[in-house]
Every structure is written in C-alpha cells, then in structure tokens.
C-alpha cells in the first residue's frame, strides 16, 4: 500500500517550503503538485525540479513506465474530464457528505494512487509527498484503494496570504513566458475561508489531518519537522536534521513535478518569516481580509489586531 503525505491548504501558505524540508528526510520523496502533472508535465513538458524537461528526467520516466507502461498511455483528456466532474471546489460539500464514492471519483483517484505507488518504488522511499494543496483533491483521495493517506493542513495568516496573491511572480518553468495567478485581497479572503474549512471537514470524515501554522513552523523548523515526522510515522534520528542551520537549510536536488518556483532551489534556502504584508498591505484591505476570515483566524490562534500593533 502506497503511503502518501498530502500537503494541503490555500495557495501561498508555505506548502512548498514545508515540502522541500520534509523531502530532505530519509524515507520521504517529495513529488511536487501532482494535480498539475497531467497538463504541465505530460502534455506541456515543463521543467522538473531537477531542471530537466519532464520527458528528459530519468526519475519521472521510470515512474511513468512503472505506473502506466509509459506516460504516452495516459489519457490526459479523460483525466481532465474526471477532474471537472469530481474535483472542483464546488464539489467539496458533496464529496464531504458522501458515504460511498462514485465510479468517477474512484477512477480519478486511481490515477494518483498509481503515480504514488510507482514513485515510492522508483525512489525507494517509504512515503511520498504530494503538495497539490487542493482540498477537493484531498477529499477525492480518501476514496483511493490501496492508499494510506495522511494530510498536513498548512495554514498561514490570511492577510499574509492575501498580500502574496497581489504580487507578480513569474513561472520559471515556462522560461518567463507565463506568470502565476493573482487574486484581489477580497477574493483571496473568500477562497482562504473555503479551502481551509474544507480540511476541517476532511478531518471529521476520519482522515488523519494534522494542522500546522506556517509562521510557527518557520520559527522553529526543527521542532516542526520532528512533529511532522511523528505524524507521518517516520522514525527520525537527530542527524537527519543536520541539513537545517540557524537561518537556512541546505537542500539537495529534487524531482518536484510542478509548483512554486522554490522547487528549483538547490543549496541554501533562507528560513525567514516574510511579514512584509504587515506594512505593505493597505489597512483597508487588511481590515477587509480580517473581517472575512476573522472566525477561522481566531480558531487557528491568530490575533486579529497583530497588524495594527506592528505598524
Ligand atoms: Zn527530475
């Protein structure tokens, strides 16, 4: 049975950094955002975290051979059809309340399960990490056969998330031709609520969900990784954390299939809190996001007046 650690949360919440650090632990293999593998990699042949084009990466070629007898045998149109039918955010209430899965849900989940199992075998890792984030996908995966699913729910202050979504970030895997999506703070706040609440629903359905606050994790990554390894059931020796330094981590090459540009970082990765939003997010927008996200921010332990105190 494939063991997968699914990193969930709303975008710009720090899942890529958590994934990169977890991927350094022995027994873990970080795969990036598998939700994008079908289009961006199989079809568009974007770059793997190792720098090679997807088709030129030996790791992914072996995974494709093992899982599907070659990526050419994957019907990407079929996966897109299934995704539209079962994995959109609007499907979450139905997915969460279902007591049995439809054939479409099972079929869609089976593509992921095959990738996980093959990646575990090729890498020799005990557990693979999928940082797809999407809460709807996590709900789908609870119906996958032969899958030991554990979910890490990464939460970041909604106001920091909102500020991040207003910034322009280019996507290096497309060689500068494309930029990452942007949202207004109001839109980001509404989505932050919906996606984070969906992981609460998932936990109530019996899926093991462990919530971390990104800011807390960054303040003490060593303690954070020890807790996550414990949740993942991974034995950890203190030497395994030698790649963590006081204010940075030393990263090896990874094979993340898709995701945030940080997946390309090799060597030194700074571990610093990014609190630029406290000064840079206009106060009207800060108040708007604080009002929309107030109940959940409070539930997660975020002080609502932190911004006004700091500025
Ligand atoms: Zn690669």
226-246: pLDDT as tens digits: 999 999 999 999 899 999 998
Are the C-beta atoms of 305 and 294 separated by less than 8 Å?
no
Query: From ligand 1's centre to the CA of 33, what distance in Å?
Result: 13
| 61 Cα–ligand 1 center, Å | 9
CA of 128 to the centre of ligand 1 (A): 15
- Rounded to the nearest angstrom, the distance between the alpha carbon of 47 and the centre of ligand 1 is 8
CA-closest candidate to residue 299, choices 170, 213, 195: 213
Query: Residues 86-100: what's their mean pLDDT?
Result: 90
Instruction: Say what the pLDDT of residue 230 is.
Output: 97
Residue 97 predicted with pLDDT over 70: yes
Distance 254 CA to ligand 1 centre (A): 7
Report the share of the chain in percent with pLDDT over 70: 95
Residue 24 CA to ligand 1 centre (angstroms) = 15
Instruction: Give residue 129 CA to ligand 1 midpoint distance, Å.
Output: 15
Would you state the pLDDT for residue 104? Answer: 96
Task: Please write the tens of the pLDDT for every residue from 185-195.
Answer: 999 999 999 99
CA 17 to CA 154: how far, in whole Å?
Answer: 11
Cα 52 to middle of ligand 1, angstroms: 6
For residues 208-221, average pLDDT: 96
Is the full-model pTM beyond 0.75?
A: yes
Q: What is the pLDDT of residue 311?
A: 41
> What's the CA-to-centroid distance between 255 and ligand 1, angstroms?
4
Q: Which two tokens stand for residue 286?
A: 């800060």
CA 155 to chain centre: 11
**Per-residue confidence (pLDDT) for residue 36, from 0 to 100:** 97
pLDDT of 24-42, one tens digit each?
Answer: 999 999 999 999 999 999 9
Q: What is the pLDDT of residue 308?
A: 47
DSSP 4: E
User: What pairing do the DSSP bridges indicate for beta strands 267-270 and 248-251?
Assistant: antiparallel
Say how many Å lie between the CA of residue 36 and the centre of ligand 1.
Answer: 15
How large a percentage of the chain has pLDDT more than 90? 83
pLDDT for the residue 16: 93
Query: How many angstroms is it from 253 CA to the middle of ligand 1?
Result: 8
Residue 182's pLDDT band (cuts 50, 70, 90): confident
């Amino acid at each position: 049975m494939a063991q997968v650690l699914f990193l969930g949360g709303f975008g710009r919440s720090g899942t890529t950094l958590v994934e990169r650090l977890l991927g350094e632990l022995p027994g873990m293999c970080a795969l990036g955002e598998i939700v994008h593998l079908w289009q961006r990699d199989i079809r568009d042949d974007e770059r793997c975290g190792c720098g090679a084009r997807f088709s030129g990466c030996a790791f992914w070629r072996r995974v494709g051979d093992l899982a599907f007898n070659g990526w050419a045998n994957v019907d990407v149109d079929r996966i897109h059809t299934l995704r539209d039918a079962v994995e959109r955010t609007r499907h979450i209430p139905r997915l969460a309340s279902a007591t049995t899965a439809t054939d479409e849900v099972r079929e869609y989940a089976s593509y992921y399960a095959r990738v996980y199992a093959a990646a575990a075998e090729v890498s020799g890792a005990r557990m693979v990490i999928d940082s797809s984030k999407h809460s709807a996908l996590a709900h789908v995966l609870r119906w996958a056969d032969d899958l030991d699913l554990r979910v890490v729910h990464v939460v970041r202050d909604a106001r920091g998330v909102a500020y991040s979504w207003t910034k322009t970030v280019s996507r290096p895997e497309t060689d500068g031709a494309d930029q990452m999506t942007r949202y207004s703070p109001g839109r980001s706040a509404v989505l932050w609520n919906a996606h984070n609440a969906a992981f609460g629903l998932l936990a109530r359905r019996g899926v093991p969900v462990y919530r971390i606050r990104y800011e807390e994790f960054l303040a003490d990554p060593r303690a954070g990784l020890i807790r996550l390894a414990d949740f993942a059931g991974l034995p950890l020796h203190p030497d395994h954390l030698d790649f963590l330094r006081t204010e940075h981590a030393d990263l090896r090459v990874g094979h993340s299939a898709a995701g945030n540009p940080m997946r390309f970082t090799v060597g030194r990765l700074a571990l610093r809190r990014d609190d630029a939003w406290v000064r840079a997010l206009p106060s009207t927008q800060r108040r708007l996001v604080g009002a929309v996200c107030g109940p959940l921010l409070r539930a997660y332990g975020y002080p609502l007046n932190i911004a006004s105190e700091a500025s």
